[in-house]
Structure 1
Amino acid sequence: MPLLGGIRPPIAVLLVLVLAVAGITAAVLGRAGEPSVPEGVLSSQQHFAEDGAVALRASIDERVTDLRRTAAGLNAGDPVEPERILSDLGKTYQKWTGTGVIDLRSGKVLAARGETIPLGWLDKEVLTGEHALVPRMVRLESGDVRLMSMAVLDGEDGAQQLLVASNSIAVPSINLGPFRSMAVVASDGEILSTAGFERPESVNSDAEREELDFLQKQMSGMADLAAAEAEKDPVSSKEPGSHGYTGVSGRLLGDEYNGRVVTAGYASLASSDPEQKQSVGAGLGLTVVAMLPVVQEEASAQDHGVYGLLAAGALVALGLVAVAVLWGTIQRPLIGLFLESRRLARGDLARPVAVPRWGETARVGAALERVRTQLGGGPAPDADGRTRPAGRIGVRVPLALTAVLLLLWCVPVGLLLNRTDDSVSVPAALVNDQRDRTDLLSDRVRRALNEAHADVVSTARLIGGREDSGPAALEALLKDAMRDHPRYESLYVADGDGKVVAHAGDEPAAPWSTAKRLPPLRVTGEGGSTPVVQAGSAVPGDAGLTLVGEVRVQFLGSLLDRPGLGTVRVVDADGRTLASNRGFLAFAELPEKSLTDLVRAGNLQVGAGPVENGLLLREGGSVTVAAAAPFSGGGVASDIGWSVVSWQDADRLQTVPSQREDRSVLAGILGLAAIVVCLGWLHLVVARPLRDLAAAAERLADGDHKSVLYPRYHDEVGAVVRSLELLRQQLQTLRRNEALRQAAAASQPSTRGM
């Protein structure tokens, strides 16, 4: 018999799969102890670090880009006094710790603002080398590290000046929540800045001081590990085929202290587009580490190991019964038919055929017995040529019985065991992470809108400083600005009546009305398909002219697209949707009233609070983890009353109960797959050919000696078909010889008469 054909392989494979599924069930459902920290908590720390890295990278890139763009705009016009340059720069952008203008010929500082910028790092290589004017990190005398950005300005009489701006490399200034800390780590593992640790002067007891020392040591160790991991290639560091964060990211598990386990996530600064090579922040070799001590999961009161072993044992018992049914009802009778048919084909007609009791094998056995009788000289079939089959119960009955036996295990395990429908337990760390990540995202969107308005203000000043303010010159300047500002859908200059004087990009979606005093950042477009977010600034020196930039809603949606947060929306003070990371209707209400109440509570500065104050929403049989964070922190965007709200179903979080439920469903699916594969295999290669064999054997026994029998497979059924073909040929020869004898006997009397 061939290795993969016949009745034996599918039954053997079914037994092997049953034992394998039982082993997997015992392993995944009967673990001796659950992990001390749920997988969802570790994933959340990784996502938190990724969010921090995205925010830090965007902040660094925006500051460098703004400085270079300002210098390019100044170089396009007449030379400006250094003091005025720094004054206008400080009014437009409040993002640098220090700025200065230096004369490149003499090295003299022409103007300075903010903290003193050290000049010892400036040399010929910095200004004219292969990496000229590339931002770099410089350590101050105080030990702090600053990122120095540079741009060349054209001064009077052809003299060149160097515009320098310094800014600190720090984690985003957001609410980290209780016990969380973040750090920015250099490529060598040095911690450049931290946030979230308690200050030593606030520590009043030896226990608190000891815990703070422990956490700082843990952060130092995590920083070294994260810096080493960040050196890996972003593609090779991920699972094959996985997507998500473009840089290197992961999670770390630290030591345990006072019932809490230190968890951490890390993420290297990476460009939002892996093909983009212009990201300054991504090239600094920095890594963000987010650390959070979480309460260690207590062991469950129920012994899940017993459940796993009982489930595995039940599957083995049912599997053995199912295999015994298949062996006794299909395999053994079919092999008996194979032996009987081969005996008859060899000419051994002495013994009657052992006919099975029921099914297709009984029909084939009865037909073989009739053929044996005919070959032995017995009576030919009746004129009707019909003999009823010996049994109507086919081979599909044991297959169905086997499927039912295994489904008695698959259905309860997959659908009933370890269910979390009635009560979902969500760790407080996951709820806090939802809130803190939403707050971080709110800060990022607010900064992006502030940046959009600041860019409009900067471009408006460039327009006001140009001598040529004709429509053609304005459109050329706006096109250059559009090329540098991908966040805008369109840029246009409107006069006092709202009429568009010049524009670049798409046609303006909404007019800029100056009939009444409106905020510099506004949203219009009600009744349309998408909201229109506008940022406007008056053009200096030209009364009545206003530069307006319409922010792309898709740009805001891209900021909200973060893994592990579920659905994220930007809403106004009334809870109407303005942007989302998923499909949405313009100005649509939030899907649940509780989410609207959460947004309004945040706008009233009540705060979402801990779990009992509304972040864990229970409605009906579902549990939702939600958070809302209003814009706050300064800038024009903080006054528009917008909020970022996020929510997701609790069953999607990788908590210990949900993981147990997932494992149970996995075990049930694996069992169902074994049923489909093996019983489907049996039906295709045994059941269907056996039914055809039974019909062919009955036709042969009924006297059809002309139909040639061809085996479909080279297995037991095929062997019986080959034997039947040999028997058919023997019957045909026997009938021919008998006809010849009868013809010879009929001709003998006439011969004697002659």
Structure 2
Amino acid sequence: MPMLGGVRPPIAALLCGLLAVSALTALGLGTVHEQDVPQALSDAERQIAQDAADSVGTSINASARSVRRSAASATPAGSSKPATVLRSLLPTGHPAAGGVLLDPRTGKPLAASGEKVPLTGVDAKDLARPDTGNIAPRVVASGTGAPRMLLFARVSVPVADRKQDENQDQAGDLRGDQDAEERGLLFVVSEKVAAPAVYGAGRTGQLVDRNGKVCASAPTTGAALAAATGHRALPAAAANAANTSVHTGDVSGSVLGDGRHGLRRVTGWASVVSEDGKDDASGLGLTVLTAREVPPAKAGADHMWFALVAAGALVVIAVLVTLALWGTMQRPLLRLHLSAARLARGVGEVPERRAELARPVPVLGFGEPGRAGRALESIRRQLLGETGPEPAQEVRRRPGVRALVLVCALVIAAWGVPLLFLLNRVPAAKAVPAAAVADQQARTEAAADRVQRSLGGSRTDLAAAASALSGASRERAAEVLRRERADHPMFRSLYVLDRTGALVQQVGKQPVRPLVPPIGGGITQVNTSGKIPAIAAYARIPAPGKAKGARKAEDTAPAVVVAEIGVDVLDDLVSRPGLGSVWLTDERHRVLAASAGFEAFQSLPSRRLTRLVAKTDAAPGGAGKSASAVLHAGTSPGEGLSVAAAAPLAQKGPAAGLGWRVVSAEPAAALKLAAYQVQARTMLAGLLALTAGGACLGWLHIVVVRPLRTLTGCAERLAAGDRRTVLFPVHHDECGSVTRSLELLRQALVERDRGAGADLAAVPAPSFQCDSAP
């Protein structure tokens, strides 16, 4: 009859599961091949190009915002000569190569400064329309051969100022009608295209346009890469990404070049495009190319032989375990089921079936199936009247089916545990190539430069805001502060202090800890303890011209503008994909910001990381340098070795005196190296084998072993003369079938004893039911 559950499904599932794990082992380990250039180096080069592209995009966006902010805040006063207006528009500290002020009505330049601005293809009338959004930058060719980046801004000059100088000649006059005043003027700034900032010894970097033409090269290696990179050298995926100008699909990648002089060139590319494609740099179609020549790794051993041996051993174990379970559990239990059913038919009402009782019950297997078979044979003989109840004798219990299941589990564990914990283990010092450690250090240096540039740019913009606050009214000062905070999301609070340290004005959130009026300008760490690190940029407000009687108001005049920098913004700055855990530490190596959760001013996760950071400390009279190593970073328990690096934040600029460091740690197992891929797949194979074996054998123990042990006890008590215990079948399988047959046999024995006048009360028996549900 069909069985719902029973002994066969768990054994069949065990066989199928182990065979599937053996196939996965052969395929998973056999397909891992040692490469002369590991995938980890190609991925690192792609990420380095992406870091450089993000830096280029941030720089372009900052320059465009600086030009527009300068045009919006500049207020021409006094003379309205075009040269005077142009000088007031040029951003403070901006590396502009040239600037020009255009009349959008005629398209002619009214004033120019610096080198000649290439205006080919610039429609001043169309760009100066006030009903459009911000004007996107452009990269154009110049007469010198080097491309230039043009930055645009609309400027409005009051009509009253224009009419003051009507004696000027027409070419250089700002005079115009009311319609010209509404259109305003067009301010154009020309600057050199900045080369991408790349780090790492022997690495080259270039910035190319969508046609593959080189716009800028890293100053140390520009000629070498420019000669090897042309229009055909730009990868097709990079060209497509540059032309879309939107963050769709892949915007970065890597290409492995041919070998030359015993070295292989790894080229990474990344498009200068934001996720939404709406920033100033996205429409330029620029792509960053980085390249580095690495020595090919030595050819490693093929893992196919190990995969076949491991898979074959598991196949043998699966077959042996299945045969053992089939011969000692499945086959005897099925025979027991058939024998019990045959005896139950023999005690029925049909006389022709009485002959079923004449056939002995075969006793197969050992343990519980054998004991149940012997008890069933005793019951058969009692039904025939050949013998009476056989009292159970105290015998030494031998190993049964439970011991068999345990032995099968140990055999499977003998294959899975070594794979999970012992085999294919390679020391990280040998598995991680030196080039991967150098790439981690280069990316950490790029992260430090990213933080330094952001802090330095904010400090420069704050200095420009301080100049605008000089002599401004309270309403004008509040407007400048609000605009400055809107332009800089990293400022959580902006406030102005007078010479006595009193708070004069404030916008944004409440400061964590107000700054004592410092001298000069720069960036400082306000506190060294507490729940939130307080970091502030500050700039002195230039004193306006003194008037008579202003001596008393000098102490209460605004002296310093302070911008408190949010820690969450620093967290975003240090977080980079593929760099692992990153921390920004102070001069005492305590955490100020991190890519993951942290407590303010906590120590680094391990002493080894702290010692690595100590190596970057500057010697007396010198500058600190970066360091990297393979060590236990201690970022999480049981993680293993990590590739760690530390880099000083800045050697010059506003943040140079802070002594901050950027520290990173990437688990070595996360790198795409063949040794770690083999280790991970070996561990996975062992884990799958243990899981499949444990699940199927546990299933077998629940549905077969435990009910069989209960059934054996009931059969032995019935054979010993227990006629009062009612047997209730609760399983729809072989054990349940045998239990039903035993109940029929019990009823037949009771009827026979009644007919013979047997004294049933003389046979004591406990009042409980057999074959209860586990």
Q: Does the alignment reach a TM-score above 0.5?
A: yes
CA deviations over 1:157-198 (Å, ceiling 9, x no partner): 1621222234455443343431x2334454566554444784
Q: Return 9-18 or 226-235, whichever deviates more.
A: 226-235
Select which of 578, 581, 584 maps to 2:595.
Answer: 581
In structure 1, distance between residues paired with 2:365 and 2:536:
85
Residues 644, 456 of structure 1: alpha-carbon distance in 2 compared, 3 angstrom cutoff: same
Q: CA deviation at 1:551?
A: 0.8
Q: 1:535 is matched by which residue type in structure 2?
A: A
In structure 1, distance between residues paired with 2:485 and 2:258:
51
Q: SS of 1:397's equivalent?
A: helix
Residues 165, 54 of structure 1: alpha-carbon distance in 2 compared, 3 angstrom cutoff: same
Q: 1:221 is matched by which residue type in structure 2?
A: A
Residues 168, 477 of structure 1: alpha-carbon distance in 2 compared, 3 angstrom cutoff: same
Q: 1:268 is matched by which residue type in structure 2?
A: S
**Corresponding residue for 1:615?**
628
In structure 1, distance between residues paired with 2:210 and 2:393:
88
Residues 732, 183 of structure 1: alpha-carbon distance in 2 compared, 3 angstrom cutoff: same
**Corresponding residue for 1:172?**
196
**Counterpart mapping for 1:121-140 below 5 A:** 121-123=121-123, 124-128=125-129, 133-140=134-141
**Corresponding residue for 1:163?**
187
**Corresponding residue for 2:173?**
none
**Corresponding residue for 1:749?**
none
Q: SS of 2:363's equivalent?
A: coil
TM-score by length of 1: 0.82
Q: 2:237 is matched by which residue type in structure 1?
A: L
**Corresponding residue for 1:431?**
437
**Corresponding residue for 2:266?**
263
In structure 1, distance between residues paired with 2:155 and 2:358:
113
Q: Is 1:494 matched up with 2:517?
A: no
Select which of 512, 515, 519 maps to 2:515.
Answer: 512
Q: Is 1:732 matched up with 2:747?
A: yes
Q: SS of 2:687's equivalent?
A: helix
Q: CA deviation at 1:398?
A: 1.4
Q: SS of 1:402's equivalent?
A: helix
Contact 2:57 2:281 in 1 (8 A): yes
In structure 2, distance between residues paired with 1:684 and 1:236:
53
**Corresponding residue for 2:48?**
48
Contact 1:263 1:293 in 2 (8 A): yes
Q: Return 529-538 or 123-132, whichever deviates more.
A: 123-132
Residues 635, 279 of structure 1: alpha-carbon distance in 2 compared, 3 angstrom cutoff: same
Select which of 210, 216, 221 maps to 2:229.
Answer: 216
Q: Return 619-628 or 457-466, whichever deviates more.
A: 619-628
Q: Is 1:359 matched up with 2:367?
A: yes
Contact 2:437 2:630 in 1 (8 A): no
In structure 1, distance between residues paired with 2:618 and 2:641:
20
CA deviations over 1:62-87 (Å, ceiling 9, x no partner): 22222233333337999987645654
In structure 2, distance between residues paired with 1:415 and 1:668:
9
Q: CA deviation at 1:486?
A: 1.0
Residues 122, 323 of structure 1: alpha-carbon distance in 2 compared, 3 angstrom cutoff: same
Q: CA deviation at 1:557?
A: 1.7
Contact 2:254 2:267 in 1 (8 A): yes
**Counterpart mapping for 1:93-112 below 5 A:** 93-112=93-112
CA deviations over 1:678-719 (Å, ceiling 9, x no partner): 222222332233234334444554545673533424xxxx14
**Counterpart mapping for 1:379-528 below 5 A:** 381=389, 391=397, 393-421=399-427, 423-464=429-470, 466=472, 468-469=473-474, 474-514=477-517, 517-528=519-530
Residues 388, 149 of structure 1: alpha-carbon distance in 2 compared, 3 angstrom cutoff: farther
Contact 1:450 1:636 in 2 (8 A): yes
Select which of 614, 617, 637 maps to 1:600.
Answer: 617
Q: CA deviation at 1:47?
A: 1.7
Q: 2:490 is matched by which residue type in structure 1?
A: R
**Corresponding residue for 2:66?**
66
**Corresponding residue for 1:206?**
none
**Corresponding residue for 1:748?**
none
Aligned residues between the structures: 704
Q: Is 1:683 matched up with 2:701?
A: yes
Select which of 672, 679, 685 maps to 1:661.
Answer: 679
Q: CA deviation at 1:153?
A: 1.6
CA deviations over 1:549-606 (Å, ceiling 9, x no partner): 0111221121101133233333445545433323445455654453233221489657
Q: Is 1:324 matched up with 2:327?
A: no
In structure 1, distance between residues paired with 2:602 and 2:536:
19
Contact 1:33 1:299 in 2 (8 A): no
Q: SS of 2:452's equivalent?
A: helix
Q: 1:449 is matched by which residue type in structure 2?
A: L
**Corresponding residue for 2:547?**
none
Q: SS of 1:11's equivalent?
A: helix
Q: SS of 1:529's equivalent?
A: coil
**Counterpart mapping for 1:184-263 below 5 A:** 184-187=207-210, 192-195=215-218, 198=221, 215-216=228-229, 220-228=232-240, 237=249, 248-263=251-266
Residues 607, 464 of structure 1: alpha-carbon distance in 2 compared, 3 angstrom cutoff: closer
**Corresponding residue for 1:752?**
none
Q: CA deviation at 1:318?
A: 2.9
Q: 2:486 is matched by which residue type in structure 1?
A: R
In structure 2, distance between residues paired with 1:422 and 1:72:
56
Identity of aligned residues (%): 35
**Counterpart mapping for 1:266-281 below 5 A:** 266-271=269-274, 278-281=278-281
Q: CA deviation at 1:651?
A: 4.7
